[in-house]
A and B are shown apart, each in its own frame.
Chain A
Amino acid sequence: MTELHLTNVSFSYPDGTKALENLTLSVASGERVAIVGQNGAGKTTAVKLMNGLLKPTEGTVLVGDWDTKNHTTAQVSRKVGYVFQNPDDQIFHNDVESEVRFGPKNMGFEPERVDALTTWAMKLCGISEFAEENPYNLPYSVRKFVTIASVLAMDSDIIILDEPTAGQDKIGLQVLGNLLRVLEEKQKSVITITHDMEFVTDYFTRIIVMANRQLVADDNAQKVFYNTEVLERSMLKPPAVAQMAKLLDFSPGILSKQQLIKAILAQRSL
């Protein structure tokens, strides 16, 4: 069980470009969090700081009781697995199974555990049937699942998914949803960056909104998507259901399809 604490964290690139300013947040062990915000808001920088790929210019990042400044990325990545935004930045094996197996094997796990984790992760990501396939023969969306499986197989306490919903079809989104549920049962913390607000409202209660390199809101979905100031500052589009509810003059708070359908049915029976 590993908690994550970022305290007044800022990050600037060596040329002085600021990428993140004064971020403070904590993720409890087993918690599921979505990070949303425009391109360039600092989301990817924030998560790269969480797994030690970047070290803060100011402030501290604590992974459990480790300050990431005092540990190598290789060490931190045992606790915090990060799935890259671009799968092609990550994949380097000629077949899917070797790609997934590499992580747990490299961690020095017992062979039985490596086998079990590899099989489990491939199954959970819906890629078992592609075990022998070269990842580059697979569509982008499936390659993304190959990279997710590779990180899940490392069995880290904290998992970061950077835009897993990009390019996913309905079936892919269902696989992701199921995966989140399984990880929650296993008490893993999952931090997900996404632009898909429907996916966010379907699977997340805690939402972190970023804009202009800063945290704008850290709250539940209802409060975030019905807070005009937050939406404007972060240039977020609320989920389609919220927009429909507004067009139908329902009082604020409706986010899921089921809530909206219930509200319409209730109105009808008056």
Chain B
Amino acid sequence: MTAMIDLKNVSYRYPVSDDSVLKNISFSIEKGKFTAIIGNNGSGKTTLCNTIRGFVPHFYKGDLDGEVIIDNTKITDYQLGQLGEKVGYVFQNPFIQVSGVKDNVFEEVAYGLENLGVPVEEIKVRVEEVLKLVKIEYLRDKNPFELSGGQRQRVALASIIVMDPEILVIDEPTSQLDPIGTQQIFEIIRLMKERGKTIVLVEHKMDLIAEYADDLLVMHKGELVMQGPVRDVLADPAFEKYQIQYPHVTEIALQLQKSGIPLSFLPIRDEELAEALNRTGVAVHD
């Protein structure tokens, strides 16, 4: 196994702050894995993302203890620009990611590649491809500032994907999107995974995490309290105490279990409920 992201005993304190927002965090993410960071707001998820992309401590300063290793190189040995090419970061708030220097979506998406000095012909091809992938071709001539929240969120994702980074760190990419738009974003992330990208996603929508992600990192008050494959973490009774939403089907299954209905396994996707119930159902076994 090759670790793409490796954190060893990482603690971090913002400047002028008394408390650490990250407390002694260690984990390792393999290349090509889709990992979701979950936890309630204020638990340190976004700071953790900022650590992986080097903004902590390169940009925010503050005290970082422990080691952050990205693709076998310590984060402190990277220039911030080099990291920017390796780790693509999609902001939580699409309203702030838009550059403000481009007056249409096509150019906005092309902006990162221009800065990297990619030849114009290649830029055009890559931008076209990404606009299609993210389903925003119809927005190409629109001013980024005239877009709705959901549209901006897609433009933000497109402008990162187009750079083709090895690692994608995506902070709540669907908060402004309707359910179908949300599903589409997850499909795009799945496609990125198929292309071998390593994906780190912060998201609250547990039904979709259960459907798409490989692994979970559970954050609670700055600590990494649980980690492992999605199914294992959700099946661990310890998960309940962190007051994080379960996938809806899991919540129902757990309540059924409490009411005395045995389950053959704990379902995490809607279509598994029938199976979890039937296998143990009286009618089936007796």
Report A's interface with B, CB cutoff 8 A. 37-40, 44, 85-86, 88-89, 139-142, 163, 166-172, 195, 197-198, 235-237, 239-241, 243-244, 247-248, 257, 260-261, 264-265, 268
Contact = CB atoms under 8 A, between A and B. Distances in A.
Contact of A38 (B46, B172, B181, B249): B181
Contacts of A172: 41
A139 B46 CA distance: 9
Give the contact-size bracket for chain B.
35 or more
Given A168-B204, A169-B244, A235-B180, A261 B270 contact: no
A241 B55 CA distance: 40
The list of the 4 closest CB pairs from A to B, nearest first, reads A39-B150, A240-B248, A237-B179, A167-B175
Contacts of A257: 248, 251-252, 255
Nearest to A236: B179
A140 B252 contact: no
Given A140-B92, A167-B175, A240-B247, 5 more contacts: A39-B176, A140-B93, A163-B149, A195-B178, A198-B248
Chain B contact surface mostly:
helix
B60 to A, nearest CB: 12
Given A86-B149, A172-B41, A260 B252 contact: yes
Contacts of B96: 88
B270 A139 contact: no
Contact of B42 (A142, A241, A247): A142
Nearest to B207: A240
Nearest to B172: A167
Contacts of B183: 237
6 contacts: A38-B180, A39-B176, A168-B204, A198-B248, A240-B207, A244-B273
Contacts of A170: 40, 243-245
Contacts of A44: 148
Interface of B: 39-42, 46, 92-93, 95-96, 148-151, 172, 175-183, 204, 207, 243-245, 247-249, 251-252, 255-256, 259, 261, 270-271, 273-274, 277, 281-282
B261 A240 contact: no
B147 to A, nearest CB: 10
A237 B39 CA distance: 25
A211 to B, nearest CB: 11
A39 B177 contact: yes
B259 A265 contact: yes
Contacts of B46: 139
B93 A88 contact: yes
Given A167-B204, A168-B204, A265-B261, A139 B178 contact: no
A195 B40 contact: no
Interface centre among A140, A237, A260 (most CB of B within 10 A): A140
B41 A169 contact: yes
A169 B204 contact: yes
**Taking each of A169, A172, A235, A260, which has the highest tally of chain B beta carbons within 10 Å of its own beta carbon?**
A169
Contacts of A163: 149, 176
A44 B147 CA distance: 13
A268 B180 contact: no
Nearest to B202: A167
A40 B249 CA distance: 30
Nearest to A165: B175
Given A166-B176, A172-B41, A197-B179, A241 B149 contact: no
A18 to B, nearest CB: 15
B248 A241 contact: yes
Nearest to A265: B259
A39 B92 contact: no
A84 B204 CA distance: 21
A235 B179 CA distance: 9
A89 B94 CA distance: 13
A110 B271 CA distance: 57
Contacts of B274: 247-248
Contacts of A166: 149, 175-176
Contacts of B270: 240, 243-244, 247
Contact of B41 (A139, A237, A260): A139
